[in-house]
Amino acid sequence: MKRLLATLATLFAAACDRVPLEQPMPSQAVVSWDGLYLTHCAGCHGADGSLGAARPMRDPAYLATLSRDELIRVIGRGQGRLMPAFDQSAGGPLTAEEIARLADGMRQAWGAGGVPVGMPWSGSAGAAEAGASVYAAHCQACHGAADGRAPGTHGSVTDANYLRLASDQALRSAVLFGRADLGAGCDGRPNGRRLQSQEVADVVAFLISRRPATGRSDR
Domain ranges of the chain: 11-15+21-110, 128-209
Contact yes or no for 174/166 (Cβ under 8 A): yes
Q: Which of 188, 163, 162 is nearest to 177 (CA)?
A: 188
Q: What is the pTM of this model?
A: 0.77
Give the burial class of 138: count Cβ atoms within 10 A of its Cβ; 0-12 exposed, 13-18 middle, 19 or more buried.
Answer: buried
Report which of residues 177 and 6 the model is more confident about.
177
**Could you tell me how far CA 98 lies from the centroid of its own chain?**
18
Confidence tier at 192 by pLDDT (50, 70, 90): low
CB atoms within 10 A of CB 208: 18
Superfamily of domain 11-15+21-110: Cytochrome c-like domain (1.10.760.10)
Residue 117 identity (one-letter amino acid): V
| Per-residue pLDDT tens over the stretch 80-127 | 888 999 999 999 999 999 999 999 999 999 999 999 988 888 888 899
Dist. CA 184–CA 125, nearest whole Å: 24
The mean-pLDDT minimum among 2-16, 92-106, 138-152, 185-199 falls in 2-16
- pLDDT over 50 at 13, yes or no: no
* Highest mean pLDDT out of 8-22, 94-108, 147-161: 94-108
CB 125 within 8 A of CB 110: no
CA 165 to each of CA 46, 69, 201: distance values in angstroms, whole numbers, following the listed order: 18, 25, 19
CATH 1.10.760 assigned to 128-209: yes
Helix-, strand-, coil-residue percentages of the chain, each rounded to 5: 50, 5, 45
Per-residue pLDDT at 203 = 95
d(Cα 194, Cα 55) in Å, to the nearest integer? Answer: 20
* Tens of pLDDT, residues 54-79: 999 999 999 999 999 999 999 999 98
Give the single-character DSSP code of 98.
H
Q: Is the dihedral of CA 57, 58, 62, 65 positive or negative?
A: positive
- pLDDT for residue 184: 67
β-partners of residue 179 are 184
Instruction: Indicate whether 30 pLDDT > 70.
Output: no
Cβ atoms 148, 219 nearer than 8 A: yes
pLDDT, average across residues 34-55 = 95
